[in-house]
Structure 1
Amino acid sequence: MTNDYTSRIVWTGNRGEGTAHYRAYDRTWDIAVPGKAPVHCSNDPLLGGDPAKMNPEDLLLSALSACHMLWFLHYASEAGIVVLGYEDSPLGKGEVGRGGAGRFVEATLRPVITVRRGADLALADALHHRIPEVCFIARSVAFPVHHAPRYVEVD
């Protein structure tokens, strides 16, 4: 079975001269998927982008984290682990080589997961190790993804 995914990228950085020279244009665009709210994006701030807007690196790291979260919630539900909250602050490590070409070299997902008191935390930890086998994004990236979850138990 195959699935098709589509997106629409619309460059918004033409200041009137197009790409007449390197400083003549902004590195901004919108992700404009039909039927969904647009996401306003920019280049990495290290490369002169707008730090208030999402950049490709933000989007990749966020997609990786969100995919992991959705699979964790699914597996937790099946395992009888009641998750009441989930927040992640993933950390991606990148490197820039000669000529400015960059890449991610690793990422660490660092979710803080609130569970109902009495949850089997060893089982919860084990679920994280199953996710890379099924998460669409994790299976698609070419760098290692580590997991460092923390659990908060509440009544």
Structure 2
Amino acid sequence: MEHTYHTSITWTGNLGQGTAHYRSYARTWDIALPGKPIIACSNDPLLGGDPTKMNPEDLLMSSLSACHMLWYLHLASAAGVTVVGYQDTPTAVGEVLPSGAGRFLSMTLHPVITVLPDTDLDLARKLHDDVHPVCFIARSVNFPVTYQPQFIIASEAA
């Protein structure tokens, strides 16, 4: 079954001269969809972008991490593993070629997962292996995605 997805991107970087010169425009845009908050974006700060705004790399990493999290929570629920907290701080390695072309080489998820006492931590850890085959975003990227989960027992977190 196919699904169709939509988004709206509007360039906001016309500083008055459009793209007349390389430095005459900003690399900024908004992601705007009806009924959702606008996300103001810029290009990567390494390329002169605004570090206070989301960039495509941030968005891709966040999407992949969120997809993994949502599938993990589903699989945990189905397996009887009760998760009461989940936070991830993914890291990625990228490269930029002399031509300016870039790409991600790899991404590692670092989820910290809080579970109830008496949780089977081996099962909780193994569930991560079951996510990649079903995660829409992870299945769509062409770089390796690995994970290094940490588990906290809820009584320790209090």
Which interval holds the TM-score relative to the shorter structure?
Answer: over 0.9
| Correspondence for 1:141 | 141
Gaps of 5+ in 1: none
Q: Which letter maps to 2:60?
A: L
| Correspondence for 2:107 | 107
Does residue 123 of structure 1 match 2:123?
A: yes
Identity of aligned residues (%): 62
| Correspondence for 1:87 | 87
How far residue 34 of structure 1 moved from its aligned partner, in angstroms, is 2.1
Determine the C-alpha separation between the residues in 2 that align with 1:126 and 1:51: 36
| Correspondence for 1:6 | 6
Q: After TM superposition, what 4+ stretches of structure 1 lie above 3 angstroms from structure 2?
A: none
How far residue 98 of structure 1 moved from its aligned partner, in angstroms, is 2.3
| Correspondence for 1:30 | 30
Q: Which letter maps to 2:42?
A: S
Determine the C-alpha separation between the residues in 1 that align with 2:154 and 2:87: 15
Does residue 67 of structure 1 match 2:67?
A: yes
| Correspondence for 1:49 | 49
How far residue 132 of structure 1 moved from its aligned partner, in angstroms, is 0.6
Please list the CA deviations of residues 3-24 of structure 1 after superposition, one character each: whole Å capped at 9, or x if unmatched: 0001000000111111110111
| Correspondence for 1:96 | 96
Determine the C-alpha separation between the residues in 2 that align with 1:114 and 1:154: 6
Gaps of 5+ in 2: none
Q: Considering only aligned residues, what root-mean-square deviation do their CA atoms show, in Å?
A: 0.7
Determine the C-alpha separation between the residues in 2 that align with 1:7 and 1:34: 10
How far residue 42 of structure 1 moved from its aligned partner, in angstroms, is 0.2
Query: Tell me, what secondary structure is at the counterpart of 2:60?
Result: helix
| Correspondence for 2:150 | 150
